[in-house]
Amino acid sequence: MTTQAENDILTQTGPGTPLGELARHYWHPALKSEELVADGDPVRFMLMSEKLIAFRDSSGRIGVMDHRCPHRCASLFFGRNEENGIRCVYHGWKFDVEGNCLDMANVPPHQDFKQKVKAKAYKAEERNGVVWVYMGSQENVPGLPEIEATLCPEEDVEILFIVRECNWLQGAEGELDTSHLGVLHMGKVGADVYTKDSINQYVVSNRAPEYMFTETDFGTQYAAYRPADEGNTYWRLGPYLWPFWTMPPICPLDNNILARAYVPIDDENTMMVYWMHNKAELPGKTDRRKEVVGGGDWNFLPNTTDWNGRWRLSDNKKNDYNIDREVQRTKSYSGITGINLQDQAMSESMGEIVDRTVERLAPSDIMITQTRKHIIRAVQAYQKDGTLPKSATDPSVYRDVRGGQFVAPDGEEWLDAYSTRLDAAAVKPPLPEAAE
């Protein structure tokens, strides 16, 4: 059982919290590049409980900083984005993307001390359509993580930002819980629906897999297995990657190039950032997106300038995700349209921060229980002597990681089978140097 003290470590990511301080040693996807226009409106947003603004200056550089002007703490969201800086409209103090004070409009020149003033600013980088933010020490910043899907050119991936009104861990743990696939998503589907060449036949013919687990430099990984056809085993492998990443085994391993980051907005809201390679072909499928998201389009409410006003779904907890009870009785088991919306409903239904002290976990939850222990041990090591996971300083540990499904001969060791098939994967993105 997870204690309340452990739950606090796992769920709290604000400044000064144990996991929050450790997670600030990593880059986090924060905005779409298209949200920021040179000399355009600043964007108000939150990241790990910090209220920030982002803007693109006249030269195209990205600025991310505390929204409060260092002078009198008026919000720079109302500032003028002009001539390579953001200018506070209260007294005219102006700052560049690094937080340096460029001008103190209300101070006589002989009393100016702008060289001593600096706004709290964070490093920001763009890669393939996404703005990343690094909130740790600005003196020793690692490279962006070499996560496969994020290295693909923007035109080769679909990138979604979606708010979930719950703690980051609820979303991430849903990805690490593969047994729910055969119930929540396929509960009304029988094996006879799938042809013999469809790998999903094994999910619905046996909804109770067994599991393997391992710890790695990037985080943790599970392998759920079931009998396949005679002499073979069906495997579904999915990793957790530090600090907030998953790669669910939605498709066969050879083309399952996707990643999901569950980035804390604050402790009760999460931004799911989702990359999916859209060029790979699925055997017997003509619409990869439909396979992955479960049909239908994402319908978003209009973005607002509220702190948490971006990328909200129109199907949400206020309208019970537009559940159709007749469909639930006759067709889809849940009555909610789409795999990801079904997951969102379940994770948000637990409350903003689930009370894990009342859980009754089962053997099917081994990836969840072991990953929680893995995170807590890492946090404790960091608190003790500053030890960081290898992934915090070496972005290459993410390079050869992918979730996915495959069938292997009985008796083939699962990590060997995974490694062999991953090496043979047909689609590989370029190294970061080539992607620039």
Residues 163-180: pLDDT tens digits?
Answer: 999 999 999 999 999 888
The domains of the chain are located at: 27-134, 148-435
Q: Quick one: average pLDDT of 237-264?
A: 94
| Confidence (pLDDT) at 435 | 36
Q: Reduced to 3 states, what is the DSSP secondary structure of residue 1?
A: coil
Structure confidence by residue, pLDDT tens digits, 39-53: 999 999 999 999 999
| Confidence (pLDDT) at 184 | 82
| Confidence (pLDDT) at 385 | 97
CA distance 2 to 371: 12
Q: Is the pLDDT of residue 298 over 60?
A: yes
**Least confident span in 3-7, 124-128, 375-379, 415-419:** 415-419
- pLDDT band with cut points at 50, 70 and 90 for residue 434: very low
CA distance 24 to 6: 19
For residue 392, CA distances in Å to 6, 141, 149, 156, 320 come to 22, 10, 19, 27, 39
CA distance 359 to 253: 32
| Confidence (pLDDT) at 187 | 79
CA distance 130 to 273: 10
- Positive or negative, the CA dihedral 126, 131, 137, 141 is negative
Q: Quick one: average pLDDT of 325-347?
A: 92
N-term to C-term CA, the chain: 46
Q: Quick one: average pLDDT of 13-27?
A: 98
**Least confident span in 30-39, 272-281, 310-319, 402-411:** 272-281
| Confidence (pLDDT) at 310 | 97
| Confidence (pLDDT) at 288 | 44
Tokens standing for residue 314: 């129109």
On average, the pLDDT of the chain sits at 90
**Residues sharing a CB contact under 8 Å with residue 60, sequence separation 6 or more, in sequence order:** 38
Q: Quick one: average pLDDT of 258-280?
A: 91
In CATH, the number for domain 27-134 is 2.102.10.10
Q: Is the pLDDT of residue 295 over 70?
A: no
Task: Establish whether the linkage from the previous residue to 243 is cis, with ω within 30° of 0.
Answer: yes
For 307, counting Cβ atoms within 10 Å of its Cβ (0-12 exposed, 13-18 middle, 19+ buried), the class is middle
Amino acid identity, position 244: F
CA nearest neighbour of 189 among 208, 179, 202, 176:
202
Q: Reduced to 3 states, what is the DSSP secondary structure of residue 123?
A: strand
Characterize the bridge pairing of strands 130-134 and 27-32: antiparallel
CA nearest neighbour of 390 among 148, 142, 21:
142
Q: Quick one: average pLDDT of 337-359?
A: 95
